[in-house]
């Protein structure tokens, strides 16, 4: 198993290029110096940073250093690395950019020299051209994360891109996806997705791994580690097109490679799944991380809008799943509580009656043996919601209870303004966001499909 623990829980840290003025690295410096992590600022000129004694050189620090975070400009990075080698650090996070990804020979050469040092010294290095990592468990971060705004959970992110890692966490803070660890890799001169998949495979805080890949330099090892994975790995791989592939090169100096090879590589491993974009990646990860695996292909749809129900049917069929055929007794049970004009032949369209009919309908549907997963589409607009002040926490409590009881995955989709989404989210809090709420029907159904496939794979392994 790959030892990278000093990256995630460093006993001592040096920030080389620590900054006390608002620029890149400022918030990292501020956060770590004010945290419980033993942190030493290193700065060429300043004797003090934010009230902490600063050292001219990492070698001046009168303490062992496990982890160095390098924030200095590209041309000063090589010397900083050499100093770290002399100090005997275990790991280095190089956040500085401006190396091979520029395509400029001079900067590519600097990167090559760093690679040599990594090989010789066995010091593990993350980056350059990244923002390092965050551990949501002990709240260590080499970048900036508002831990009050984000949720601790069991989804890990491995992202090749720097800025995107932060933007992803920011987006997911609305969706209430809970994270274990987030790692950005940049140009991957040493630590790469193979190392991290291996590490996270044994990380008991991680249940689902999301991976954003621009290209790999170790195809064979990636194949090997995917074969060994005990957890689902959800992958977005960009650079399918020619211009996209060129853009990859100038972004993280990776070779995007032939998309078909990646497609085949992912398909070949039943615990790896390819997703289309970042929104889909995290919505699907959220369902994987909180819901039981569906035991079959039948999806039940309860909706407040027939139109959105129809859209869901199209999507269910597109994904090779089936709209459930409810048992006669289930339909009879639902009929007793619904007005005569409510339609329950396909999707269960509660229309504006849901405040009085939701509970009985949900009970009847989830107890039906034909049902393997449930999609609930909520679309009461802001106006009536404000007027009625419809309480939806009981919906969540019931859904969570029945989902546990019958061991069936449930997803709640909201169609409407963000105000409505937040209104619903406030109630989802009551079940610790363990019923995923999202804006996209197609993502919910994609999750059911992939989770069904994953369940089939696990079942076959057992036999």
Of residues 121 through 180, those in contact with a copy of itself by CB under 8 A are 144-146, 149, 159-161, 163-164, 166-167, 169-171, 173-174
Which positions from 394 through 423 interact with a copy of itself, judged by CB under 8 A?
Answer: 415-421
Three-state SS for 22?
coil
- Contact residue for a copy of itself among 56, 119, 152, 240 (CB under 8 A): 240
Smaller CB separation from a copy of itself, 198 or 442: 442
Nearest CB to a copy of itself, comparing residues 113 and 224: 113
* Candidate segments 84-92, 110-118, 226-234, 250-258, binder of a copy of itself by CB under 8 A: 250-258
In this chain, which of 109, 113, 202, 241 binds a copy of itself, going by CB under 8 A? 241
How many residues comprise the chain? 463
Residues of the chain by 3-state class (helix, strand, coil), percent to 5? 45, 20, 35
| Cβ-based neighbour number of residue 140 at 10 Å | 23
Tell me the C-alpha distance between 332 and 317, whole Å: 26
Q: Which single residue is written with the structure tokens 């004009």? A: 341
Q: Compute the C-alpha angle 59/63/65, nearest 5°.
A: 70
Q: Which is nearer to a copy of itself, 86 or 419 (CB)?
A: 419
Q: Please, which of residues 359-398 interact with a copy of itself by CB under 8 A?
A: 379-384, 387-388
**Residue 110, helix vs strand vs coil:** helix
Q: Whose Cβ is closer to a copy of itself: residue 49's or residue 159's? A: 159
Instruction: Please select the residue that binds a copy of itself; options are 86, 263, 277, 459, rule is CB under 8 A.
Output: 277
Nearer to a copy of itself, 97 or 402 (CB): 97
Binding residue count for a copy of itself, defined by CB under 8 A: 87
Minimal distance, residue 238 CB to a copy of itself, in Å = 4
Q: What is the DSSP-derived secondary structure letter of residue 433?
A: T
- 209-238 binders of a copy of itself (CB under 8 A): 212, 214, 238
CB of 347 to a copy of itself, least distance (A): 5
Looking at 187-195, 202-210, 348-356, 402-410, which segment touches a copy of itself (CB under 8 A)?
348-356
Q: How far is the CB of 3 from a copy of itself (least distance, A)?
A: 28
For residue 323, count other CB atoms closer than 10 A to its CB. 19
Question: Which of 413, 427, 429, 428 has its CA nearest to residue 378?
Answer: 413
Task: Using the minimum distance from each CB to a copy of itself, give the nearer residue, 58 or 321.
Answer: 321
Q: How far is the CB of 312 from a copy of itself (least distance, A)?
A: 8
Burial class (CB in 10 A: 0-12, 13-18, 19+), 65: buried
Residue 169 neighbours by CB under 8 Å, 6+ apart: 134, 145, 150, 157, 179, 182
With a CB cutoff of 8 Å and minimum separation 6, the contacts of 107 are 74, 98, 99, 100
The residue ranges of DSSP E strands in 200-271, in sequence order, are: 208-213, 233-237
Residue 107 or residue 179: which is nearer to a copy of itself going by CB?
A: 107
Q: Which is nearer to a copy of itself, 116 or 317 (CB)?
A: 317
Q: Give the C-alpha separation, 44 to 351, whole Å.
A: 67
DSSP 152-219: EEEEEEEES-HHHHHHHHHHHHHHT-EEEEEEE-TT-SS--HHHHHHHHHT-TT-SEEEEEES--S-H
Q: How far is the CB of 169 from a copy of itself (least distance, A)?
A: 7
Subset of 296-325 contacting a copy of itself (CB under 8 A): 304-311, 313-314, 316-318, 322-323
Site residues for a copy of itself, window 42-101 (CB under 8 A)? 74, 97-99, 101
Q: Which residues in 428-457 contact a copy of itself (CB under 8 A)? A: 442
109 forms part of the interface with a copy of itself (CB under 8 A): no
Shorter beta-carbon distance to a copy of itself: residue 356 or 407: 356
- How far apart CA 79 and CA 138 sit, in angstroms, is 31
């Amino acid at each position: 198993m790959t030892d990278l623990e000093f990256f995630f829980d460093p006993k001592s840290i040096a920030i080389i290029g620590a900054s006390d003025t608002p620029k890149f690295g400022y918030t990292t410096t501020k956060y770590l110096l004010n945290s419980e992590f033993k942190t030493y600022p290193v700065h060429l000129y300043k004797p003090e940073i934010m009230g902490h004694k600063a050292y001219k050189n990492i070698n001046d620090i009168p303490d062992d250093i496990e982890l160095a975070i390098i924030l200095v400009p590209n041309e000063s990075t090589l010397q900083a690395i050499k100093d770290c080698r002399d100090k005997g650090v275990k790991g280095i996070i190089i956040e500085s950019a401006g190396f091979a990804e520029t395509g400029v020979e001079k900067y590519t050469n600097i990167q090559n020299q760093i690679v040599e040092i990594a090989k010789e010294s066995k010091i593990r290095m993350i980056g350059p051209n990244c923002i390092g990592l965050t551990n949501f468990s002990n709240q260590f971060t080499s970048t900036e994360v508002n831990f009050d705004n984000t949720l601790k959970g069991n989804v890990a992110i491995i992202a090749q891109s720097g800025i995107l890692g932060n933007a992803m966490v920011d987006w997911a803070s609305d969706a209430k996806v809970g994270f274990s660890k987030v790692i950005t890799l940049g140009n991957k001169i040493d630590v790469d997705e193979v190392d991290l998949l291996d590490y996270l495979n044994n990380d008991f805080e991680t249940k689902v791994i999301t991976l954003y890949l621009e290209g790999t330099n170790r195809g064979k090892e990636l194949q090997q580690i995917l074969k060994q994975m005990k957890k689902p790995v959800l992958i977005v791989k960009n650079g399918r097109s020619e211009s996209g592939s060129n853009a990859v090169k100038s972004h993280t100096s990776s070779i995007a490679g032939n998309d078909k090879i990646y497609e085949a590589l992912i398909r070949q491993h039943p615990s790896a799944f390819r997703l289309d974009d970042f929104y889909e990646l995290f919505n699907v990860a959220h369902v994987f991380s909180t819901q039981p695996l569906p035991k079959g292909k039948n999806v039940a749809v309860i909706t407040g809008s027939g139109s959105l129900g129809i859209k869901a049917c199209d999507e269910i069929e597109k994904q090779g799943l089936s709209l459930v055929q409810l048992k006669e007794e289930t339909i009879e049970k639902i009929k007793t509580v619904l007005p005569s004009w409510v339609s329950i032949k396909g999707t269960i369209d509660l229309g504006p009656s849901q405040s009085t009919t939701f509970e009985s309908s949900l009970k009847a549907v989830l107890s039906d043996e034909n049902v393997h997963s449930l999609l609930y589409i909520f679309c009461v607009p802001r106006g009536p919601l404000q007027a009625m002040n419809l309480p939806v926490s009981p919906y969540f409590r019931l859904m969570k209870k029945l989902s546990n009881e019958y061991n069936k995955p449930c997803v709640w989709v909201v169609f409407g303004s963000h105000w409505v989404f937040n209104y619903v989210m406030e109630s989802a809090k009551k079940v610790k966001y363990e019923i995923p709420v999202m804006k996209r029907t197609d993502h919910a159904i994609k999750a059911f499909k992939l989770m069904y496939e994953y369940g089939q794979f696990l079942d076959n392994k057992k036999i």
